[in-house]
Structure 1
Amino acid sequence: MTKITRLFDFPYYQLDKQNLEDALVTKYNGEWIKTSTQEYINKANAISRALLRMGVQKDDKIAIISTNNRTEWNIMDIGALQTGAQTVPVYPTISEEDYEYILNHSGAKFCFVSDTEVLRKLNLIKHNVPTLTEVFSFNEIEGCKNWKELLVLGEDNSNQNEVEDRKNAVVTTDLATIIYTSGTTGRPKGVMLSHQNIVSNVLDSADRIPFAAGSSRAMSFLPICHIFERMILYLYQYYGVSVYFGESIEKISDNIKEVKPNVITAVPRLLEKVYDKIYAKGTELTGIKKTLFFWAIDLGLRYEPYGANGFWYEFQLKIARKLIFSKWKDGLGGNLDLMVSGSAALQPRLARVFAAAGIPVMEGYGLTETSPVITVNDQRNKGFKIGTVGKPINNVEVKIAEDGEILCKGHNVMIGYYKDENQTKEVLRDGYFHTGDIGEFDNEGFLRITDRKKEMFKTSGGKYIAPQILENTMKQSRFIEQIMVIGDGQKMPAAFIQPSFEFVREWASLHNIPLGNSNEEVIDNPKVIERIQQEIDLLNEKFGNWEKIKRFELTPDIWSIDGGQLTPTLKLKRKVVLEKYKGLYDKIYN
């Protein structure tokens, strides 16, 4: 039996245990094309042989930039790692300047791209990247070498012994990948993760995941360039889960209905959109159907695990699942019984309602620097608590510093930041990784995240404000799509708000309130401002007087990655947002 100590051991372990016919599945020209475990390994070895013939040395860097998840990504990853080289995944929608910085900073020798748009951006800057010797594409693109040329070059297996020698020379503590984090300020930092970092995280998280080994199917659509989805893909391989790659976020609803997965990974924003669509459909119902729908919703929002609400609640829930929630499940393929959420805080109401619907969301916590999982909820063994991110996984030590910062120690903690000793020393101190997050353990050992250390601020009255708590609470309102709390050094907290324009228009239509066509006209409408004020007033009641949002201004823009307000992992770029809406800031405080 294959012992897993390096990332490229996972496919061989799967071959020993399951040998799936559909280990990796991607849709090409309308047809799902399956790659078996054996074919996966054969192609990865062909890539390794080709890379050796192309002169790839141990510790060379190979960049992968793909707009969608696909089988080729995984084959390239394993093929490169087997040579002792490192893969450098790059987020496709970042700026050309960031492409240039990452490729130069990492010293990438080869780059594999998915499509014409990525290639276009790369061609604009590749003349400024002297280490980059060749670019290959996954799609057929005229004038660009195709990745299949490596499969042809590696067909002859006469140098497979050399591949085996390279594999045997890779030790678990060797660097495996450099992941450039989408920082909210400044240049991206290159997080160095070893084989041991990620392998240990997979194995130490494995017993929290209730998979039926060899008989589950997953849909993968979150970007593999993020460690969250990438680690999950290795975990799927470990458990013998068939992985189907979604075509795009836009097509994910159709893909889920086609594939009928048992598990998906998601970010809270996506789950919010799923819930909002279901809710919107419920409002269109009439008569008894509408009454039953909202009865079920109300029941779901009161959900507590392990029968804590008592017999009568559980009896009603059973009826609601049969009459209403079963239709939710059907809309998500019919087989979905687990969703894994990370990257940002999940609204407790969503955790409750999806769990009530029989599609529990396992919320976890971690960072790129921790490979990434530190804690995770587990439905079984009373390991699930709504409003928390679960308990620490095996072999990971977590403690809370005197100032409330979460500290972490374990084999999952990164080697450091690439070519940046100062930043490394700043976060790796006294044997612990300093996460920058503020949190607390409850009396049952569940971790609750309360804020980012650097994002907390003081008002001029000396009171601390934790903006994330306020923001997460305010986003429970269906009128509020995005919100950023401000007020550092000011007399009171305030906020910039991007309304949920789609929902606001639906609400206005129901109440016969005329709105103009533009977002500017929407945010200037007194009725809209008044209604959002009511939402703020209601949610403010959950906070002390010094924390309440006293004023707000609406923004006409859709906050997005391309617009610069959000990082690729959908976190707020607070400094950018503050600069962008300086006029609104002055209007609030002057």
Structure 2
Amino acid sequence: MHNFGLPPSATPVMTGGLADSVFETALGNPGLPQIARRSHDSPGTWTQVSAAQLRDEVVDLARGLIASGIRPGNRVAIMSRTRYEWTVLSCALWSLGAEIVPLYPNSSHEQVAWILKDADCVGVLVEDEQGVMTVGSVCAGLPRLRHVWQLDSGSLDELVERGRPVPAATVDSLRRIVLPDSTAVIAYTSGTSGHPRGCALSHRSLASTCDTLLDGWRHTAASPGEQPAVLAFLPFSHVYGLMVQGLCLRGGLLMGHEPDLRAESLAAAFRSFRPTYLYAVPSVFEKIYKSFLTAAERTGRGTLFERAARTAQDYAEAAEQQRLGTGPGPGFDLKLQHALYERAVYRKLRDSLGGRICGAVSGGSPLNRELTLFYAGIGIMVHDGYGLTETSGGITAQPVGREKFGTVGRPLPGTDIQVAEDGEILVRGPSVFQGYVNDIPGTRASLRDGWLATGDLGRLDSEGYLSITGRKKDTIVTSSGKSVAPSVLEERLRVHPLIHQAVIVGENRPCVGALITLDPDYLPHWRTMVAAQADAPSREAREQNAVLQEVTRAVAAANSFVSRSESIRVFRILPEPFDPANGLLTPSMKLRRDVIVRRYATEIDAMYQSSARTRVKSLSDEPVSWEEHEENEDDVFRRVR
């Protein structure tokens, strides 16, 4: 086994629960702006909430929960988007020693019924009438569920009124008996196969990651002397989102909430809130890049942007070599080009994100190296990290000043990582979960002699940098016995602006294939560019041929990063994206691979059987199929390449 770990950082010993930080900040710095709330009358205006105001709201809501019969150890689900009320309610529940069960607001009836019953919830907060209907449809099988509160109907205000007779000292007394190792959150896994499993996360495990990151990375979150500001838009239903909330509350960062994940809503929030630091997942960084490209092409500056992007990547790569001691750094000509594009391009790109972002973190899955180089080159250093629900968030991060792009960094101080002989990543540390709720065999299978078997595959280099190569259960074995990790190819395909999603297939098939969806945001713009280059009678045929050419180029580019036997030989473009609504993505936006393969079994069979000629159909209603002769594998390979 390959093993790597760093000694723990000198963070203060935790003595209570997660809610303590709200009370301690209010006591020590009551006027500190803790949260910024968007004005109802003016969405572009943000009103600051001080640490003392937040504390008082938490106490008032906690009193109402006590009056409603919520007791230490009770479990309450929160089924809402990322909103201010989510933060207040979670802190109120933690101050009582209650446990939170996050639920995605887009969860299906079956998922809601399973989680509420498995977690034995006594209450659930929903956001709107749709949430009430979803929970109401499954209430008959949940005898322990006593409360259903609706945010948009004023339920929290009613709770506050109900709690007026309860002394504030009662909240303080309950808060002081919450122990660090008490369970704070039951976070359910995505359920990509089978039922979701509830991970019991303690106050200590959730706090340890936040405190370690604050100790080593907080100074990168804003310019010197400036309070860091973070726009929280990742779902608090996911442990990554909870980690962002914890970082803000424990570190005194100003936090704003953005519940709407549509591109235009996020763009408006960036401009008005003006964050100094960005926490996101790779798909967000990909969308931002595509929005930059689209805006440039619409103004006739597409070529300029592409040149500026290449210069940014070259500059960042040279700077990376310099800080890692493997190169001299950017040369004079490169520095000059970079300086010119800084004034003409890069500054404007940063301004579109509010103008104050000085760094970022990417998590959830590895970020493409070329994309990381681009952001670093335009002045936004993205620290890629790695973690999972069972580790309460991040367990690796890029060390400041020693970032190595294409990896997810090194283990956080106090965390040990091993890579087993079969490539599986094993983790040990204070952030590891307590176990799966109601699943002792599953807990024993995952926790082996104190080490968590993550199910992820990776490798550690000589300096302890971790690279993720895929999921153990996702590995594809072709009929020739070749094992293929699909994540590398899928990641490379998504870099192309026209491609939205990709699923690699090929289990027991003669070669690797791909199911591809087109980006619904970029496609209309791309169609406009293609249409402008053709006469009306030939426009549709030109567009469809251009789609095939672009996707073929993207496939060839992806193939250049893997061996010949792992390369994509056939692919099919699907007519609609994978989505939670059609059951092909989990609520946390992970691919349901088994479901996708079953749903598109006919298309996959046709893709491999192939026809003697290419058939191109309308993008608007039927799949575009790209099919090859199968008489010679080398012919297929050459045509895809």
**Which TM-score bucket, shorter chain as reference?**
over 0.9
| Corresponding residue SS for 2:268 | helix
Change (3 A) 1:189 1:3: closer
Specify the alignment match of 2:41 in structure 1.
30
Give the distance between the partners of 1:565 and 1:58, measured in 2 at CA: 38
**Structure-1 separation of matches of 2:335 and 2:445:** 50
> Bigger shift: 166-175 or 538-547?
538-547
Moved more, 443-452 or 562-571: 562-571
Q: 1:109, 1:131 within 8 Å by CA — same for their partners in 2?
A: yes
Is residue 451–residue 468 contact of structure 1 (8 Å, CA) maintained in 2?
Answer: yes
**CA displacement at 1:4 relative to structure 2:** 5.8
- 2:211 alignment partner in structure 1: 203
2:580 is aligned with 1:561: yes
Partner of 2:293: 279
8 Å CA contact 2:202, 2:434 repeated in 1: yes
Give yes or no for contact 1:112–1:138 (8 Å, CA) kept in 2.
Answer: yes
Mean alpha-carbon deviation: is it higher for 131-140 or for 409-418? 131-140
Aligned equivalents of 1:534 and 1:241: distance in 2? 44
Aligned to 1:509: 531
Paired AA for residue 407 in structure 1: L
Matched, 1:477 2:496: yes
Please give the root-mean-square deviation of Cα atoms over the aligned residues, in Å. Answer: 2.4
- Residue 412 of structure 2 corresponds to residue 393 of structure 1: yes
1:582 aligns with 2:596: no
- 2:380 is aligned to 359
Secondary structure of residue in 2 paired with 1:193: strand
Q: Aligned with 1:14: secondary structure? A: helix
1:498 match: secondary structure: strand
- Cα separation, partners in 2 of 1:512 and 1:20, compared to 1, 3 Å: farther
Contact 2:358-2:380 within 8 A present in 1 as well: yes
Does the Cα contact within 8 Å between 1:208 and 1:377 map onto a contact in 2? no
In the other structure, the counterpart of 1:161 is 169
Q: 2:139 — aligned with what?
A: 126
Which residues in structure 2 correspond to 1:85-484 (within 5 Å)?
85-140=98-153, 146-158=155-167, 160-206=168-214, 207-209=216-218, 210-211=220-221, 215-250=227-262, 251-286=265-300, 292-302=304-314, 303-304=316-317, 305-306=319-320, 307=322, 309-312=329-332, 313-378=334-399, 380-382=400-402, 384-484=403-503
TM-score, with structure 2 as normaliser: 0.85
- The CA deviation at 1:538 is 3.7
SS of the residue aligned with 1:468?
helix
Alpha-carbon distance in structure 2 between the residues aligned to 1:515 and 1:343: 45
Say if 1:456 and 1:514 are closer, same or farther in 2 by CA, change over 3 A.
farther
Q: Write the letter of the residue equivalent to 1:539.
A: A
Q: TM-score, normalised by structure 1?
A: 0.92
CA-CA distance at 1:16 after TM superposition: 4.3
Hey, what's the Cα distance between the residues in 1 that align with 2:537 and 2:513? 26
- AA in 2 matched with 1:541: S
Taking the aligned partners of 2:345 and 2:15, their CA distance within structure 1 comes to 44
Alignment partners' CA distance in 2, 1:419 and 1:74: 27
Amino acid at match of 1:151: V
CA deviations over 1:305-345 (Å, ceiling 9, x no partner): 35553232234323322221000011111111122211122
Structure 1 pair 513/301, CA: closer, same or farther in 2 (3 Å)?
Answer: farther
Output the amino acid matched with 2:22. Answer: P
Structure 2: segments with no counterpart, 5+ residues: 1-11, 610-641
After superposition, the C-alpha distances for 1:154-173 in whole angstroms (9 at most, x for unaligned) are 23453x33333322222111
1:27–1:247 CA contact under 8 A, matched in 2? no
Q: 1:516 and 1:395, CA in 2 relative to 1: closer, same or farther beyond 3 A?
A: farther
Distance 2:105 2:555 in 1: 36
Maintained 8 Å contact 1:346/1:363? yes
Summarize deviations over 1:505-556 as a string: whole Å, max 9, x none.
Answer: 2453244287999xxx999934422442233234323321211111111110
Tell me: CA distance 1:498–1:334, structure 2 relative to 1, closer, same or farther (3 Å).
same
Q: Structure 1 stretch 409-418 or stretch 303-312: which is displaced more? A: 303-312
Pairwise CA distance, 1:3 = 5.6
Q: Which amino acid aligns with 2:221?
A: F
Deviation at 1:367, TM superposition (A): 0.1
Q: SS where residue 568 of structure 1 aligns? A: coil
| Contact kept? 1:227, 1:368, Cα under 8 Å | yes
Q: Is the 8 A contact 1:14 1:239 kept in 2?
A: no
**Secondary structure at 1:169's aligned position in 2?**
coil
Structure 2: how far apart are the matches of 1:60 and 1:538? 52
Alignment of 1:41-52 (within 5 A): 41-52=55-66
> Following the alignment from structure 2 to structure 1, what is the Cα–Cα distance between the partners of residues 378 and 546?
35
For residues 215 and 546 of structure 1, do their structure 2 counterparts lie closer, same or farther at Cα, with a shift above 3 Å needed? same
Q: How does 1:73-84 map to 2 (within 5 A)?
A: 73-84=86-97
CA distance in 1, matches of 2:261, 2:184: 28
Q: Relative to structure 1, is the Cα distance of residues 331 and 516 closer, same or farther in structure 2, using a 3 angstrom cutoff?
A: farther
CA deviation after TM superposition for structure 1 residue 565, in Å: 1.7
Amino acid corresponding to residue 175 of structure 2 in structure 1 = K
Q: Secondary structure at the match of 1:108?
A: coil
Greater shift after overlay, 575-584 or 530-539? 530-539
What is the CA deviation profile of residues 228-258 of structure 1, one whole-angstrom value per residue up to 9, with x for unaligned ones?
Answer: 1111111112221111111412211111111
Which whole-Å CA distance do the structure 2 matches of 1:523 and 1:412 have between them? 54
Which structure's relative contact order is higher, taking Cα pairs within 8 Å and 6+ residues apart? 2
Q: Secondary structure at the match of 2:278?
A: strand
Tell me, yes or no, if the aligned pair for 1:3 and 1:13 is still in contact at 8 Å: no
Specify the code of the residue in structure 1 equivalent to 2:105.
Answer: P
> Which deviates more, 212-221 or 462-471?
212-221
1:124-168 Cα distance to aligned partner (Å, 9 max, x none): 222332111121122226xxxx1111212223453x333333222
Distance 2:379 2:553 in 1: 33
The 3 A distance-change label for structure 1 pair 522 and 543 is farther
Counterpart amino acid of 2:548?
A: I
Which sits farther off after the overlay, 522-531 or 414-423? 522-531
2:387–2:396 contact (8 Å) kept in structure 1: yes
Deviation readout 1:17-71 (Å, 9 max, x if unpaired): 543453122324234343221121112122222222222222111111113x222
Question: How many residues are treated as equivalent by the alignment?
Answer: 577
1:55 to 69, 91, 97: 69
CA distance in 2, matches of 1:389, 1:424: 26
**Matched residue of 1:587: which SS?**
helix
